[in-house]
Amino acid sequence: MASYEVKLLGTLLSPFVIRAKIALNLKSVEHEFMEVGIFAKKSDLFLKSNPVHKKMPILIHGDRPICESLIIVQYIDKVWASGPVILPSDPYDRAIARFWAAYLDDKWFRRIRAIILSQGEEAKKAALEDGIHGLVLLEEAFTKCSKGEKFFGGDKIGYLDIALGCFLVWVRVIEIMANVSLIDESTTPQLFKWAQDFCVDDAVKDVLPETDKLMEFVQFNYVAKLKSRL
Amino acid sequence: MASYEVKLLGTLLSPFVIRAKIALNLKSVEHEFMEVGIFAKKSDLFLKSNPVHKKMPILIHGDRPICESLIIVQYIDKVWASGPVILPSDPYDRAIARFWAAYLDDKWFRRIRAIILSQGEEAKKAALEDGIHGLVLLEEAFTKCSKGEKFFGGDKIGYLDIALGCFLVWVRVIEIMANVSLIDESTTPQLFKWAQDFCVDDAVKDVLPETDKLMEFVQFNYVAKLKSRL
């Protein structure tokens, strides 16, 4: 068996692992994908590689681990600099892409998750409103970032495409489970179109999990585990 | 009065504003510092420039606002690229600096603040233990990052120095208020020495607030406001 110089540890049920995987695909980096369940007992390699957070994804390059999905994406962009550019090269565009990516992780995904995780209708309704408000902000950001092209990153998938796109199947699952509409043609027409283009991109299409598979995981495992921790 | 191309909005009582100010100093960027109180009513310029978070610091370059302290530091590093380098140029060193900077913001500073903000002795003790544990991890990180030099960034102040150093007066205030020891010569001897070197650096020394002034703010304003929101 070939021993790869690059390994990615995690599962594609995790949106954060999806980010790293898409970045590797964009740059055509040969790598070994080492499947690790979200709630599975972690291997010694895993724990040794991310002793602080004990979280996926972990990229191992040679014998050096890199953790945290957006840091991994930036690392891949810098190391395999000859491939397509992931971060915008203009400093201001780069700052704006980083701003929205941080917003997704610090605020938006928590609110989206809360649509199915919160206790009580009031809390769920508030989470839904916040989640949709965030998408409206991102719709506006799309106009500025894409400059008339298909993606936030222009004519090719870039940093913010990866940062948001990794959540698309999660969004779909939450839409079905909570019987709500998040990304739709009337409220966020540009994101609606963007999502379609993103999902069929060569670097993405085999990475995103099937909706049914993710739904099963979320319904029977994720929600129960997380609620027990609340 | 000269109209500056670069404006920084905030107060140096905020560790996050300190980051932006130090980065501007390192690069010798002429700028106007527009003082904004942490709990003061925000100006139209402020709210228009950061409508999403309504938080400081905000850097305005020309007429374009950049928000979020670490994003601002990276922006400054990229735009004024001819000055001293802030982010490590090696991709792995860069990823490690980003990892610890994110750790500070996502985990560590919350725990450190909880030493004075938590209700009950149990919670305060747990926060203190977490805070010190974080510093021990950072002491280990210092050995790897500094490579025998004075700073995380080597012989000059870099990204992680700024990310951690901005909290030093806050650490001192919390040490005094809670009568605890956080960065000391026995537990974290390298950080202890690093902190001394950091505080007297030309880019830093006039930026950090006086301990008494910050203490007064934290005691009579910050703690009361934050507790009322808990």
Farthest-apart Cα atoms in chain A, separation: 54
Q: How far apart are CA A194 and CA A53, in angstroms?
A: 33
Average pLDDT, chain A: 95
Q: Does A25 touch chain B (CB under 8 A)?
A: no
Predicted local confidence at residue A2, as pLDDT: 54
Predicted local confidence at residue A68, as pLDDT: 98
Chain A residues with CB-CB distance to B92 below 8 A? 61, 64, 66, 75
- pLDDT grade, residue A1 (50/70/90)? very low
Domain range list for chain B: 6-79, 91-229
Q: Does A29 touch chain B (CB under 8 A)?
A: no
Predicted local confidence at residue B223, as pLDDT: 77
Predicted local confidence at residue B139, as pLDDT: 98
B124 and B111 Cβ atoms separated by less than 8 Å: no
A33: DSSP letter: E
The angle at the Cα of A29, spanning A146 to A149, to the nearest 5 degrees, equals 10
Section A35-63 average pLDDT: 96
Q: What is the pLDDT of residues A196-205, one digit of tens each?
A: 999 999 999 9
**Contacts made by residues A191-200, CB under 8 angstroms, sequence distance 24+:** A191/A135, A191/A138, A191/A139, A191/A142, A194/A142, A194/A146, A194/A150, A194/A151, A194/A152, A194/A161, A195/A165, A195/A168, A197/A150, A197/A151, A198/A151, A198/A157, A198/A161, A198/A165, A198/A168, A199/A165, A199/A168
Are the beta carbons of A75 and B67 separated by less than 8 Å?
A: no
Are the beta carbons of A68 and B94 separated by less than 8 Å?
A: no
Section B178-189 average pLDDT: 96
Q: What is the ipTM of this complex?
A: 0.95
Does pLDDT of A106 surpass 60?
A: yes
Contact residues, B window 49-88, toward A, CB-based 8 Å cutoff: 52, 61, 64, 66-68, 71-72, 74-75, 78-79
Tell me how close the Cα of B142 comes to any Cα of chain A, in angstroms.
Answer: 15
Token readout for A122 is 């009031």
Average pLDDT, chain B: 95
Q: Does A93 touch chain B (CB under 8 A)?
A: no
Does pLDDT of A221 surpass 50?
A: yes
Interface test with A, best of B50, B64, B99 (most A CBs within 10 A): B99
Residue B112: strand, helix, or coil? helix
Residue B8: strand, helix, or coil? strand
Predicted local confidence at residue B4, as pLDDT: 82
Are the beta carbons of A71 and B102 separated by less than 8 Å?
A: yes
Section A123-148 average pLDDT: 96
Predicted local confidence at residue A4, as pLDDT: 82
% of chain B at pLDDT higher than 70 = 97
Does pLDDT of A80 surpass 70?
A: yes
Interface test with B, best of A49, A52, A76 (most B CBs within 10 A): A52
Chain A residues with CB-CB distance to B78 below 8 A? 91, 94
Q: How many CB atoms lie within 10 A of CB B82?
A: 7
Does pLDDT of B1 surpass 50?
A: no
Are the beta carbons of B95 and A137 separated by less than 8 Å?
A: no
Predicted local confidence at residue B2, as pLDDT: 54
- pLDDT grade, residue A46 (50/70/90)? very high
**Nearest residue of A to residue B107, measured between CA atoms:** A53
Q: What is the pLDDT of residues A141-195, one digit of tens each?
A: 999 999 999 999 999 999 999 999 999 999 999 999 999 999 999 999 999 999 9
Are the beta carbons of A74 and B103 separated by less than 8 Å?
A: no
- pLDDT grade, residue B156 (50/70/90)? very high
Does pLDDT of B222 surpass 70?
A: yes
Does pLDDT of A63 surpass 70?
A: yes
Q: In the CATH scheme, what is the code of domain A6-79?
A: 3.40.30.10
- pLDDT grade, residue A229 (50/70/90)? low
Domain A91-229 has CATH 1.20.1050.10: yes
Predicted local confidence at residue B215, as pLDDT: 95
Section B6-12 average pLDDT: 98
**Nearest residue of A to residue B102, measured between CA atoms:** A68
